[in-house]
Amino acid sequence: MKHSNITRYFKALSSEQRLRVYLMILKAEREEDGCCQGVLRAFSRACEMLSLSRSTVSHHIKELEESGLLSCERQGQSVCCQVDETALKELREFMAQLGA
């Protein structure tokens, strides 16, 4: 685990809105067994629940992708995002070291 990765992850998650978007995608992915449709519903839910425009949610997703927390793939006019399991594992290991 590189501390530079952890720093990048925490920087991306330091925005409350971005953290909520990330958690919605994580939850949707788990509930839908990695299904892109679940992630797309999470995108719509994030827009509604957080009262954010589609462009703002897209910006947050871009930041999460650039940090390495998500990997995204364009599918037509939609973008399917997946939580990067390596990044999630690194975050969990780091938090375990803190005793959290």
Burial of 41 (0-12, 13-18, 19+ CB in 10 A): middle
The reported pLDDT for the residue numbered 33 is 57
**Is 39 among the domain residues?**
yes
pLDDT at 5: 92
Q: pLDDT tens across 9-23, in order?
A: 999 999 999 999 999
Q: Tell me how crowded residue 2 is: count the other CB atoms within 10 A of its CB.
A: 8
Q: Say what the pLDDT of residue 100 is.
A: 60
Task: Confirm whether 71 is domain-assigned.
Answer: yes
How much is the pTM?
Answer: 0.84
Which pLDDT score is estimated for 95?
A: 93
Environment class of 17 (CB within 10 Å of its CB; exposed 0-12, middle 13-18, buried 19+)? middle
Distances (CA, A) of 61 to 53, 80, 98, 100: 13, 10, 27, 26
Let me know if residue 100 belongs to a domain: no
Quick one: pLDDT at residue 19?
A: 95
Predicted pLDDT of residue 84: 94
95: amino acid identity, one letter = M
CATH, residue 87 = 1.10.10.10
Give the range of the structural domain holding residue 55, as residue numbers without chain letter: 3-95
pLDDT less than 70: residues of the chain: 1, 32-39, 100
How many independent structural domains does the chain possess?
A: 1
Tell me whether residue 17 is in a domain. Answer: yes
**Token pair belonging to 92:** 């969990």
**pLDDT for position 12:** 97
